[in-house]
Chains A and B, each alone.
Chain A
Amino acid sequence: MSGSSESFFDKIAAKQEEKGIAASRIRTKEMKEDVVLEVNNLRKFFDIPIPFETTWFMIAFVGAIVVFAFRQLIGLILIAAIIVLYFALPYIPPFNKRPKVAHLKAVDGIDLQIKKGKIVGLVGESGCGKSTAAKTIIRLLEPTAGSVYFKGIDINRLTMDEMKEIRRHLQIVFQDPYASLNPRATAHDIIAEPFDIHGVASGDEASYKVLTLLKDVGLAPHHAYRYPHEFSGGQRQRLGIARALALEPDFIVMDEPVSNLDVSVRAAIIQLILELQNKMGLTYLFIAHDLSLVKILCDEVNVMYLGKIMEAGTSDEIFESMMHPYTKALISAVPIADPTKRSKKIFLTGDIPTPINPPPGCKFQTRCPLVSDVCRVEDPPARWYTASHVAYCHNIEGGEENPDFFAK
């Protein structure tokens, strides 16, 4: 791929020299040759404001008005006092200690290692934080804690200026292509915009590149001057993919790229995604909730639940020899398109707890069939079954506590 690690190290270093910033601000790490992206203990919390409780003020205020009806002066003083208190109270101890925000723990410490040329799956139910995780990994959302190393650099410590250099190599395709394409721009403008921003090409050269890209994703040259609404769902998704490919990235996040599409169109987009990977040596983080698709598409699979990874491993390990009770329930719930194989399902009882105040200990405790007392107190430990297969659970048998066991 273009843009070897040296070149953009150099560019960033040059930019820093210009500004005279110490290079020590940037955190680097030796990474294995084949690892494109390493995510360490990444967290993303959203702040939910807790509103100020006004019920008592209302009651007091109504009381003061009643007093005012009989004793005007006392009533007026009371009303004034209540109004003053209303505004002043949040600044007076101990009331100023009141928590003003609650944390919605969308992503609560995930680790990933994404190897070059692989398709890594991130699966889970809706609301488990998979999309937030993906957006945080490519720094579309600012992480709360943790680090993401891309080619040995912690991208979360870069300034936005330096980040621009890296954005060329990290791209994303969104679930809803209609919502993510500018309705007022033609297909040509949409695909050419990255060229403009990064100063790659302009004019005829840009147009030539756009036409090549359109051809790559299976659209015709005459589509270039159409607007998004003139395309069908599948074509729009092709357009979204063309835009992501424009800057020849190394790594693309596919955030449910086929969930909104019809079955026959879906298969065509999947084929396109695979074709492009073969041709350009791309690495994908593939987010999906359709497990039967993930099974045949992904090399590695990470199962997420309420912001945490429950189990990770190669596709075969997850689908054939899963260990975690959540993975077992999730996979058994997938309808199999073969009437001769109607399977026995594992039904999860209980509700998904809200991620605003998740229970301490294991996140899955409220629905887990194996739950015991220790799950409600302690975070589950990692248990390794092979060098790549890890599950986080207190109550499963076997496994090693240290992945190095398998290294020998």
Chain B
Amino acid sequence: MNRPPEDILLEINGLRTYFFTEEGVVKAIESIDLVVYKSETLGLVGESGSGKSVTALSILGIVPDPPGKILQGEVIFHGQDLRKLSDSDMRKIRGNQIAMIFQDPMTSLNPVFTVGDQISEAIMLHQKVTKKEAREKSIKIMSLVGIPSADERVDNYPFEFSGGMRQRVMIAMALSCNPELLIADEPSTSLDVTIQAQILELLKATSEEFDMSIILITHDMGVIAEMCDRVAVMYAGYICESGDIMIIFKSPYHPYTRGLLGAIPRPDAEREDLTIIRGAIPNLINPPSACRFHPRCDYWMEGLCESVLPEVLEIESGHKVRCHIYSDAGKAWMQKHGEAREIGKIPKSAVGK
């Protein structure tokens, strides 16, 4: 369901990010429109190479440049376009109002400083506090994220923590300035399931406590189903479908979403229920024309999908899909060729009861 516009925390319009490499221009993000409402968890899901992480980096303006470059689009946060801000203004927002946690905590923590120093650094950068106060605040936030005996562990180095605890440190650091938006890029992918459950629970609890929005980036549909209110499915630089989690999981409209949901083992599924998507993610230096999914799509309308990019259609309030099956051009094609292209039901077992 669409919430009123004053509830919008972050809005992305027509974002395009390319990477200019020696092999050619990698068209990582072609055109992305996305809305994040206040205190909601938005899932960003897709296969590797679909542009999920680049979207996150583009929001924060930390796309490695060169080779990356944001070519166009606006990222509106609290009514101001983040792309137009100066570097120093952007630095005030980054880590303060918008924080990010990365997939691999070991590579994003500095190995030669204690975790206390690293959390304090973020606090002292954005708030006028003394070193001692920052340290006390670090201890408080570390115990909040469930690190036992935080007053001792604050002086430990990252290598002295286990993987799950390291991720907790990362979360503590991200939460230290009470951000309004947290971007979590595959926060639990490198962790074991038992630890993953704890980290996800922690994210859920803190988002409620701090009244914080989360953009959760993952390739795991299970994590999305457990955590999110809304979900956006990405494929090769486009968002192909977005909407309420219940709608997307129950009746996906886009063939790719449908394929993704069919390709994972759902509860109550049998071996035979696993369906596959033909082919592989395209090379983004030379991506397929128009709808980038058409070479893998079972519903490909020859002559249309590869020449005309489908517009984003709002099927019902808040449920958007980018596919010709629902567009006027597509309907005209179907009439002309006398072939129906209707999206079937996803396997019975996949639908929640």
- Name B223's closest neighbour in chain A (CB-CB): A335
Query: Contact: A291 with B193, CB < 8 Å?
Result: yes
Contacts A232-B280, A234-B280, A335-B223 given: A267-B193 contact, CB under 8 Å?
no
- CA gap between A291 and B265 in the complex, in Å: 9
Residues of A within 8 A of B (CB): 125-126, 232, 234, 262-268, 270-271, 274, 289, 291-293, 295-297, 329-330, 332-342, 345, 347-348, 351-352
Query: Contact: B192 with A347, CB < 8 Å?
Result: no
Query: Contact: A293 with B265, CB < 8 Å?
Result: yes
Query: Contact: B274 with A264, CB < 8 Å?
Result: no
Query: Residue among A330, A335, A336 with the most chain B CB within 10 A?
Result: A335
Q: Which of B82-90, B118-126, B255-263 contacts A (4 or more CB under 8 A)?
A: B255-263
Instruction: Chain A residues near B228: list those with CB within 8 A.
Output: 339
Instruction: Chain B residues near A267: list those with CB within 8 A.
Output: 262-264, 274-277
Return A353 CB to nearest CB of chain B, in Å.
Answer: 12
Interface CB pairs A-B, < 8 A, 16: A126-B192, A234-B280, A262-B48, A263-B264, A267-B274, A296-B269, A296-B273, A297-B271, A333-B193, A335-B220, A335-B226, A339-B245, A339-B246, A345-B197, A347-B194, A348-B198
Scoring B residues 326 to 353 as 1 if CB is less than 8 Å from chain A, else 0, what string do you get?
0000000000000000000000001011
- CA gap between A262 and B246 in the complex, in Å: 24
Query: Contact: B47 with A263, CB < 8 Å?
Result: yes
Query: Contact: A338 with B47, CB < 8 Å?
Result: no
Give chain B interface residues in 178-227, CB to chain A under 8 Å: 192-194, 196-198, 200-201, 219-226
Query: Contact: B47 with A289, CB < 8 Å?
Result: no
Query: Contact: B193 with A289, CB < 8 Å?
Result: yes
- CA gap between A333 and B194 in the complex, in Å: 5
Return A402 CB to nearest CB of chain B, in Å.
Answer: 32
Return B70 CB to nearest CB of chain A, in Å.
Answer: 26
Return A234 CB to nearest CB of chain B, in Å.
Answer: 7
Contacts A263-B221, A263-B260, A263-B264 given: A339-B249 contact, CB under 8 Å?
yes
Query: Contact: A340 with B246, CB < 8 Å?
Result: yes
Scoring B residues 269 to 292 as 1 if CB is less than 8 Å from chain A, else 0, what string do you get?
111011111001100000000000
B162 sits at the interface (CB 8 A): yes
- Nearest 5 CB-CB pairs, A to B? A335-B222, A340-B352, A333-B197, A267-B263, A264-B277
B266 sits at the interface (CB 8 A): yes
B267 sits at the interface (CB 8 A): yes
- Name B269's closest neighbour in chain A (CB-CB): A296
Query: Contact: B194 with A271, CB < 8 Å?
Result: no
Return B317 CB to nearest CB of chain A, in Å.
Answer: 18
What bracket does the count of chain B residues touching chain A fall in?
Answer: 35 or more
Contacts A234-B280, A262-B48, A335-B200 given: A341-B352 contact, CB under 8 Å?
yes
Query: Contact: A342 with B226, CB < 8 Å?
Result: yes
- CA gap between A332 and B197 in the complex, in Å: 9
- Name A298's closest neighbour in chain B (CB-CB): B271
Instruction: Chain A residues near B265: list those with CB within 8 A.
Output: 292-293, 295-297, 337
- CA gap between A335 and B321 in the complex, in Å: 26
Query: Contact: B276 with A271, CB < 8 Å?
Result: yes
- CA gap between A329 and B194 in the complex, in Å: 7
- CA gap between A73 and B260 in the complex, in Å: 81
- CA gap between A261 and B105 in the complex, in Å: 22
Query: Contact: B267 with A336, CB < 8 Å?
Result: yes
Return A343 CB to nearest CB of chain B, in Å.
Answer: 8
- CA gap between A289 and B263 in the complex, in Å: 17
- CA gap between A125 and B269 in the complex, in Å: 23
- Name B353's closest neighbour in chain A (CB-CB): A340
- CA gap between A336 and B219 in the complex, in Å: 14
Query: Contact: A337 with B249, CB < 8 Å?
Result: yes
- CA gap between A347 and B195 in the complex, in Å: 8
Q: Which of B198, B219, B262, B275 contacts A347 (CB 8 A)?
A: B198
Instruction: Chain B residues near A125: list those with CB within 8 A.
Output: 192-194
Query: Residue among A329, A336, A342 with the most chain B CB within 10 A?
Result: A336
Query: Contact: B222 with A337, CB < 8 Å?
Result: yes
Instruction: Chain B residues near A126: list those with CB within 8 A.
Output: 192
Q: Which of B193, B198, B246, B263 contacts A263 (CB 8 A)?
A: B263
Known A-B contacts: A263-B219, A263-B263, A265-B280. Give 5 more (CB < 8 A): A289-B192, A289-B193, A297-B271, A341-B225, A341-B267
- CA gap between A351 and B166 in the complex, in Å: 13
